[in-house]
Structures are given as C-alpha cells and as structure tokens.
Amino acid sequence: MMGIVARAESGATILELRHHGGGGGGGSGKSGGRSREEELGGLFSSDAARVSSLQRRAGGGSWAEDKAAAAAATGRVPVTSGARLRTLNYVATVGLGGGEATVIVDTASELTWVQCAPCASCHDQQGPLFDPASSPSYAVLPCNSSSCDALQVATGSAAGACGGGEQPSCSYTLSYRDGSYSQGVLAHDKLSLAGEVIDGFVFGCGTSNQGPFGGTSGLMGLGRSQLSLISQTMDQFDGVFSYCLPLKESESSGSLVLGDDTSVYRNSTPIVYTTMVSDPVQGPFYFVNLTGITIGGQEVESSAGKVIVDSGTIITSLVPSVYNAVKAEFLSQFAEYPQAPGFSILDTCFNLTGFREVQIPSLKFVFEGNVEVEVDSSGVLYFVSSDSSQVCLALASLKSEYETSIIGNYQQKNLRVIFDTLGSQIGFAQETCDYI
C-alpha cells in the first residue's frame, strides 16, 4: 500500500486522490484472463446497480428490508450482478489509529467504514486490515450512545442497534441493492489527515463486508449526515471540502481539499456557485438544480430539475426525456461518423476506426443561477474498445422520469468541485487535476 500523501497548507488539509481501477487480486481469479470489454461490462453493471440503489434512497424508500435480509443472511448477501464487482473510483489514504487506510471517496455515504481484524468475511484488500487490538485509542461505542442513535436516523432504520441480551456495543449493517454490504460495530479512534488529528472519530469497524470495493480498506463517507467525515470535522474544516478528479486512470492523481481556503486551488477559471438543494428526507446526497444542457453550443431543451452530484457513480445518468434530447442533438452533430452497437448502459456508440481526427461536440451542464460547467472533452466519449471501433457517448438513460438524475465522476474530471455545506452551495471551476 502506498503511504499517506498529504499535507497541510494555509489552513487547508490536502490529500492526494488516486484513481483506483480495483485490481485487488484474488476474488474469482479470472480477472487476468478477462478482456477489456468484460472488465468494463462488470464495472458498468456495478455502476448501474449503484444508480439503482441511489434511486431507492433518493426516493425516500426504506432500506429496512434490504438490511433485514442482510442481517438474516448473517453476512452472506447475494450479489445481484453476475459480473465480479470491482471499483472504478477515487481513493485517498488516511491515518487511523496507528495505521493507514486507503478508502474510496464517496459523497453519497453517511458513514466512514473500514475492514477490521479479525474479519469473518471480507473482500480482498491490498494492505493490512485495521486491527483494533493494536490501537490504544480505539473503543467500541455503546448502543445507547448518541452516535448509535444518529446512525439510525441517518439510514432510516435500525441500522445502529443493540443486539439481544446484554450486548453493549452498537452494531451496524449497511447494505445496498447491488449486493454490497458492511456489517460490524460502531467505534471511535484517532483519524489523521495531513497531520490534523481528529480525536474520537466515529467510524464503522466492519468484520463482514462484500462489494465493489476493489483492494481498498472501505469507504470515506462525505455525505450530508451527522456521522459523515464532513460533519465530524466541522470545527476543523467549517463543513467545506472539494475535490479535483484526475484525467487518466493511471499515473495521475488529483486532490481532496478539506477546508475553505480557496488559495490552494489551481483553478484556471473563476469558481461559479449554484445553490445546494436541501432535502432532509432524501438521505445524505448533494442536490443541485439542472436547468439546461448544451451540446456543441446548441441548447437542448431540458428540465431535469433536481440532480445528485456524486463522486461514486461513474457515468452521468439522466431521466429519459432529457437523455433522449441530448442523444438526438449529439447524433445530429456527430452524423458524419458511423454508428456502432451499444455497450452495457451506453447505447449511443460509434465506430471511429480510421479517423485521424474527431471533432467532439462540447458538453455543458447549466445549473440554477445560469451557472455553466463545461465537461472536459475526455468526459464526453468513452472508448470501450482500444481500436476505436466502439466509442460511446458517456451518458446513460435512467428507466423512469420519476427517478433522479446523477452527475457522475466521469463527467467531473479536471474540475474543482467545491461542497460548501454551511453556505449550502456547490462550486465549479476548471482545473488541471494534478496533486497540489
């Protein structure tokens, strides 16, 4: 495992973000022999399952039956996707107790959790498991603690609960519709972020975990809830964080900045802010209003309304009416290139073999307040095949108009995205996403 790459500067704490392709090792043992298309098929299946899970949560639906099923299965939740789940997400390494943990940065999760020893059932992890026995500052939280209560509120069910008898610890179960889950106890320990130490940081110590987490330790919960990293570090960072996601999938890194010091950013355009839509009944998500989309400078009639800005979803998913309008305009402007079959969740594809130059129409999202955010050109098309015979528009359609559109991380590359939870606004600026 790589060491922690982080530093404090001008009152801000800066962590390196790396793209995590999810090698992880082990698992089915077949990944080495799988084609690129098979790998991508698994990743997109996982992404579609995540989108489905977020829809359920954003719709105010209860997770209770999911959690009850997970508990009844005592740690064995069936994986609904047939593909081996891996992660195409961004990771940061933090200090926890006396060790380190490399965790997926997730703006849609309420709770930070890591895999803990001794582990009854864990996904493959590249580094050592967190060992509570080796940390003198580690302690399990009792089931009558305010944090245990907060977990129940955040997840909308008895996710943090006391077992029968005299069990004193707060147990938790987080399970998702894609078959991934984490079960264990709620605990606290010292969290170290670039030298900034947060004593008594509450997290999940998971001893039964499964899902598309690759070789990571677990998840960093950056969502809007009482137990998220952002809420727990309010005194240190004033409820502000931002990230810049790197362009390439390897040999590049971006940054996660905690704190409101904008002087450490390297943005090339001014920061523009749109209002964050607050909806306390709809989970930990960061909502904004999407008022329009432009393709190649041509405004597409759209009324997507409330959308989730998410670091953990790969491909942006739009309600069918908006997606179809965007697709039609893109096909019109891209008409000179032959079409190719769709791939997984991507249904608008082209065969670009033999073309030396390709003119890619620009893609802009327009948010409330006439805030225009241009997607990096690398976030418009997805190269499914390395020979360019199948290159797809990197957007997907949701199943229903009643679902909530999601801005995924593939369309957030080379942007500084700022989440100001106290000011209730989200900012965007162009930035070349190297580790700063």
CATH number given to 80-236: 2.40.70.10
- pTM of the predicted protein model: 0.85
Per-residue pLDDT band for 31 (boundaries 50, 70, 90) equals very low
- Looking at per-residue confidence, does 353 or 43 come out higher? 353
- Looking at per-residue confidence, does 61 or 220 come out higher? 220
Q: Can you give the pLDDT at residue 268?
A: 93
Residue 344 makes CB contacts below 8 A (sequence gap 6+) with 40, 41, 44, 45, 48
> Rounded distance, CA 229 to CA 32, Å?
35
| Interval 371-417: pLDDT, tens | 999 999 889 999 999 899 999 999 999 999 999 999 999 999 999 99
Q: Can you give the pLDDT at residue 164?
A: 52
Residue 294 pLDDT > 50, yes or no? Answer: yes
Residue 127 pLDDT > 50, yes or no? Answer: yes
Range scoring the smallest mean pLDDT among 34-43, 121-130, 419-428: 34-43
Q: Can you give the pLDDT at residue 390?
A: 95
Residue 114 pLDDT > 70, yes or no? Answer: yes
Q: Side chain identity at 137, as an amino acid letter?
A: S
Residue 418 pLDDT > 70, yes or no? Answer: yes
Residue 275 makes CB contacts below 8 A (sequence gap 6+) with 288, 289, 368, 369, 424, 425
Per-residue pLDDT band for 77 (boundaries 50, 70, 90) equals very low
Range scoring the smallest mean pLDDT among 66-80, 250-264, 314-328: 66-80
Range scoring the smallest mean pLDDT among 67-71, 314-318, 413-417: 67-71
Q: Can you give the pLDDT at residue 162?
A: 61
Q: Can you give the pLDDT at residue 64?
A: 31
Residue 174 pLDDT > 80, yes or no? Answer: yes
Residue 333 makes CB contacts below 8 A (sequence gap 6+) with 295, 296, 298, 361
Q: Can you give the pLDDT at residue 264?
A: 84
Active site members: 106, 310
Q: Domain 239-435 adopts which CATH fold?
A: Cathepsin D, subunit A; domain 1 (2.40.70)
- Most distant pair of Cα atoms in the chain: their distance: 71
Give the position of tokens 């997730």. 106
Residue 37 pLDDT > 80, yes or no? Answer: yes
- Looking at per-residue confidence, does 176 or 235 come out higher? 235
Please report, for the chain, the start and end positions of each structural domain, with discontinuous segments joined by +: 80-236, 239-435
DSSP, res 411: G
Q: Can you give the pLDDT at residue 309?
A: 95
CA distances from 392 to 347, 357, 384, 387 (A): 7, 16, 7, 13
Choose among 382, 301, 292: nearest CA to 345. 382
Residue 83 pLDDT > 70, yes or no? Answer: no
Per-residue pLDDT band for 248 (boundaries 50, 70, 90) equals low
Per-residue pLDDT band for 52 (boundaries 50, 70, 90) equals confident
Per-residue pLDDT band for 24 (boundaries 50, 70, 90) equals very low
Percent above pLDDT 90 for the chain: 44
Q: Can you give the pLDDT at residue 40?
A: 85
Choose among 213, 262, 190, 239: nearest CA to 115. 213
Same fold flag, 80-236 and 239-435: yes
Q: Can you give the pLDDT at residue 411?
A: 95
Pair of tokens at residue 366: 């327009």
Q: Can you give the pLDDT at residue 93?
A: 84
Query: Do the Cβ atoms of 19 and 256 come closer than 8 Å?
Result: no
DSSP strand pairing (12-20 vs 6-9): antiparallel
Q: What is the CA radius of gyration of the chain?
A: 21
